[in-house]
Amino acid sequence: MTAQIIDRTDIKKITLNVTSEIGRLRQVGIHYPGDELKYMTPSNKDALLFDDILLADYAQKEHEEFQQMMEVLMIHTYQVVDLLGKVLTDPPSDLMEQVIKIQENTEKKMGNKWVPAYRTCIQHEFDNKLMKDATMWATKLITGICANAEDATALKFRQRDDPFLLTPIPNILFMRDPAAVVGNNVIVGKMTKPARQREAYLLHLIFNYILAKESAASRTNKLFDFFDEKPENELDDGGLENMNVEGGDILVINSETLAIGCSERTTPEFVQEAISRMFHSATWKNIKTIIAILMPKQRSTMHLDTIFTMINKNECLVYAPMILARGREQVTAIRYTVDSEGKLNIYQEADVVTAVENAMRGYLHNRAYTLTAYPCGGEDPIHQEREQWNDGANVLALAPGVIVGYNRNLKTFSVLHERANYKIVDASEIIQNHGLSQKIIEAMDNGSGEKFAIRIPGYELSRARGGPRCMTMPFQRDEVHWEEGLAS
Amino acid sequence: MNKSTNFLITSETGVLKSVIVHTPGAEIEKVTPRNRKRMLFDDTLYFKDAKEREDASNALYPDVFDEHQEFVKVLESADVEVLQVKNLLAETLMQASVEIRDNFLDRICELDGTAPFYRQRLEMLYHESPSQLAAILISGELKDVNASFVAHTGEGPFDLSPIPNMMFVRDTAAVVGDVLLLGSMSHKARARETLLMEFIFNFHPDFISVRVPVVNIGKGLLFESTGSSLDHSFPHILFESSSLHLTGTGIKIAGSDVPDGEFALLSDEGDVTLDASNVHTTVRNTLVLECGNIIVLSRDLILIGHGHRANASAIDRLAEELLSHRKLVKKIIIVSMIEDKDNHLDTFFSVLENELCLVHGSVIEPCGAKIAVSTMELLDGKIEIKDHLSLREALAYSGFNPEFAYLAGLDPTLPMAEDAAYKRIIQEREWSTQAVNVLVLAPGKVLSFKRNKDTIAHLENKGYERVTARDFCSNPKHWQGKKIVIVVDDAELSRAHGGPRSLVLPLRREPAK
CB within 8 Å: A149 and B418: yes
Query: pLDDT value at position B211?
Result: 62
Phi-psi group of A377: left, alpha or beta (phi > 0 → left; psi -120 to 50 → alpha; rest → beta): left
In chain B, what percentage of residues exceed pLDDT 70? 84
CB within 8 Å: B58 and A39: no
Q: Distance (Å) from the C-alpha of residue A43 to the closest C-alpha of chain B?
A: 8
Who wins on pLDDT, A198 or B418?
Answer: A198
- The span from the CA of B170 to the CA of B20, in Å, is 9
- The span from the CA of A404 to the CA of A469, in Å, is 8
Interface membership of B157 toward A (CB under 8 Å): yes
Secondary structure of chain A as H, E, C letters: CCCCCCCCCCHHHCCCEECCCCCCEEEEEECCCCHHHHHCCCCCCCCCCCCCCCCHHHHHHHHHHHHHHHHHCCCEEEEHHHHHHHHCCCCCCCHHHHHHHHHHHHHHHCCCCCCHHHHHHHHHHCCHHHHHCHHHHHHHHHHCEECCCCCCCCCHHHCCCCCEEECCCHHHHCCCCCEEEEECEEEECECCCHHHHHHHHHHHHHHHHHHHHCCCCCCCCEEEECCCCCCCCCCCCCCHHHCCECHHHEEEEECCEEEEEECCCCCHHHHHHHHHHHHHCHHHCCCCEEEEEECCCCHHHCCHHHCEEEEECCEEEECHHHHCCCCCCCCEEEEEEECCCCCEEEEEECCHHHHHHHHHHHHCCCCCCCCEEEECCCCCHHHHHHHHHCCCCCCEEEECCEEEEECCCHHHHHHHHHHHCCEEEEHHHHHHCHHHHHHHHHHHHHCCCCCEEEEECCCCHHHHCCCCCCCCEEEEECCCCCCCCCCC
Which of the residue ranges A112-126, A436-450, B110-124 would you say has the lowest mean pLDDT? A112-126
Q: Among the ranges A132-141, B1-10, B165-174, which has the highest mean pLDDT value?
A: B165-174
CB within 8 Å: B416 and A385: no
Contacts of A92 by beta carbon, 8 Å cutoff, 6+ apart:
A205, A208
Q: Where are the beta strands (DSSP E) in B96-160?
A: 141-142, 158-160
Query: pLDDT value at position B367?
Result: 61
User: What is the strand order of the sheet A332-338 is part of?
Assistant: A250-254, A257-262, A289-294, A332-338, A344-349
Query: pLDDT value at position A280?
Result: 84
C-alpha dist (Å) from residue B271 to A239, A323, B236, B435: 73, 60, 15, 47
Nearest CB to A42; choose among B32, B418, B432: B432
- The span from the CA of A56 to the CA of A232, in Å, is 45
Handedness of CA B55, B58, B64, B70 (dihedral sign): positive
Nearest CB to A381; choose among B46, B48, B154: B154
Residue B16: pLDDT over 50: yes
Interface membership of A417 toward B (CB under 8 Å): no
Handedness of CA A160, B307, B162, B439 (dihedral sign): positive
B363: three-class secondary structure by DSSP: helix
Model confidence at B10, pLDDT cuts 50, 70, 90, reads very high
Nearest CB to A42; choose among B32, B154, B428: B428
Model confidence at B252, pLDDT cuts 50, 70, 90, reads very low
Query: pLDDT value at position B270?
Result: 31
Length of chain B: 513
Who wins on pLDDT, B365 or A478?
Answer: A478
Query: pLDDT value at position B146?
Result: 85
* Helices and strands in chain B: count of H runs, count of E runs: 14, 24
Model confidence at B491, pLDDT cuts 50, 70, 90, reads very high
Query: pLDDT value at position B339?
Result: 80
Model confidence at B6, pLDDT cuts 50, 70, 90, reads confident
B337: three-class secondary structure by DSSP: strand
Of B217, B163, B213, B210, nearest in space to B191 by CA: B163
A50 vs B contacts (CB less than 8 Å): none
- The span from the CA of B321 to the CA of B175, in Å, is 14
- Answer yes or no: are the C-beta atoms of A309 and A393 closer than 8 Å: yes
Query: pLDDT value at position B251?
Result: 31
C-alpha dist (Å) from residue A418 to A311, A414, A449: 16, 6, 16
Model confidence at B176, pLDDT cuts 50, 70, 90, reads very high
Mean pLDDT for the stretch of residues B457-469: 97
Query: pLDDT value at position A157?
Result: 58
In chain B, what percentage of residues exceed pLDDT 90? 63
Query: pLDDT value at position A230?
Result: 75
Q: Give B19-38 pLDDT, tens digit per residue.
A: 999 999 999 999 999 899 88
- The span from the CA of A388 to the CA of A368, in Å, is 30
Query: pLDDT value at position A448?
Result: 84
- The span from the CA of A19 to the CA of A481, in Å, is 11
Residue B234: pLDDT over 70: no
Of B10, B8, B43, nearest in space to B28 by CA: B43
Mean pLDDT for the stretch of residues A145-154: 66
- The span from the CA of A193 to the CA of A47, in Å, is 9
Mean pLDDT for the stretch of residues B282-294: 73
Who wins on pLDDT, A268 or A160?
Answer: A268
* DSSP string for residues in B149-215: HHHHTTS--EEE---GGGG-GGGGEEEEBTEEEE-B-SSGGGHHHHHHHHHHHHH-HHHHHTT--EE
Query: pLDDT value at position B278?
Result: 30
Mean pLDDT in chain B?
84
* DSSP string for residues in B15-29: PEEEEEE----GGGG
- The span from the CA of A327 to the CA of A306, in Å, is 16
B429 vs A contacts (CB less than 8 Å): 38, 40-42, 53
Handedness of CA A74, A77, A82, A84 (dihedral sign): positive
Query: pLDDT value at position A151?
Result: 60
Element (H or E) spanning B470, and its range? helix B469-474
Q: Distance (Å) from the C-alpha of residue A215 to the closest C-alpha of chain B?
A: 45
* DSSP string for residues in B199-244: HHHHH-HHHHHTT--EEETT-SS-----SSSS-TTS-----B-SSE
Nearest CB to A390; choose among B44, B142, B425: B44
B46 vs A contacts (CB less than 8 Å): 390, 408, 459
Q: Give A21-52 pLDDT, tens digit per residue.
A: 999 999 999 999 999 999 888 888 888 888 88
- The span from the CA of A48 to the CA of A37, in Å, is 10
Query: pLDDT value at position A159?
Result: 61
Q: Give A372-403 pLDDT, tens digit per residue.
A: 999 999 999 999 999 999 999 999 999 999 99
Query: pLDDT value at position B245?
Result: 31
Of B196, B199, B206, B209, nearest in space to B258 by CA: B209
Closest residue in chain B to residue A38, using alpha carbons only: B426
Who wins on pLDDT, A315 or B228?
Answer: A315
Q: Give A249-308 pLDDT, tens digit per residue.
A: 999 999 999 999 999 999 999 999 999 998 888 889 899 999 999 999 988 899 999 999
- The span from the CA of B7 to the CA of B26, in Å, is 30
Closest residue in chain A to residue B63, using alpha carbons only: A408
Which of the residue ranges A222-236, B289-303, B371-385, B438-452 would you say has the lowest mean pLDDT? A222-236
Who wins on pLDDT, B213 or B181?
Answer: B181
The DSSP 8-state label assigned to residue B280 in this structure reads -
Q: Distance (Å) from the C-alpha of residue A216 to the closest C-alpha of chain B?
A: 47
Q: State the amino acid at position A239 in one-letter form.
A: G
Q: Give B37-54 pLDDT, tens digit per residue.
A: 889 998 999 999 999 999
Which of the residue ranges A218-232, A463-477, B103-117 would you say has the lowest mean pLDDT? A218-232
Query: pLDDT value at position B399?
Result: 94
Interface membership of A326 toward B (CB under 8 Å): no
Contacts of B359 by beta carbon, 8 Å cutoff, 6+ apart:
B348, B349, B350, B391, B404, B405, B406, B407, B436
Mean pLDDT for the stretch of residues B79-83: 97
Of B412, B469, B502, B487, nearest in space to B76 by CA: B469
Which of the residue ranges A172-181, A287-296, B95-104, B215-224 would you say has the lowest mean pLDDT? B215-224
Mean pLDDT for the stretch of residues B276-299: 67
Query: pLDDT value at position A158?
Result: 59
Q: Give B415-429 pLDDT, tens digit per residue.
A: 877 778 888 889 999
C-alpha dist (Å) from residue A73 to A399, A430, A432, A434, A442: 11, 8, 12, 10, 10
Secondary structure of A18-70 as H, E, C letters: ECCCCCCEEEEEECCCCHHHHHCCCCCCCCCCCCCCCCHHHHHHHHHHHHHHH
CA atoms within 13 A on the CB side of B507: 25
What ipTM goes with this model?
A: 0.89
Q: Give A88-140 pLDDT, tens digit per residue.
A: 998 888 999 999 999 898 888 877 778 888 888 888 888 877 888 899 999 99
Who wins on pLDDT, A11 or A262?
Answer: A262
H-state helical runs in B352-406: 391-397
Model confidence at B154, pLDDT cuts 50, 70, 90, reads confident
Query: pLDDT value at position B230?
Result: 29
Interface membership of A163 toward B (CB under 8 Å): yes
- The span from the CA of A333 to the CA of A294, in Å, is 6
Who wins on pLDDT, B370 or B173?
Answer: B173
CA atoms within 13 A on the CB side of A235: 0
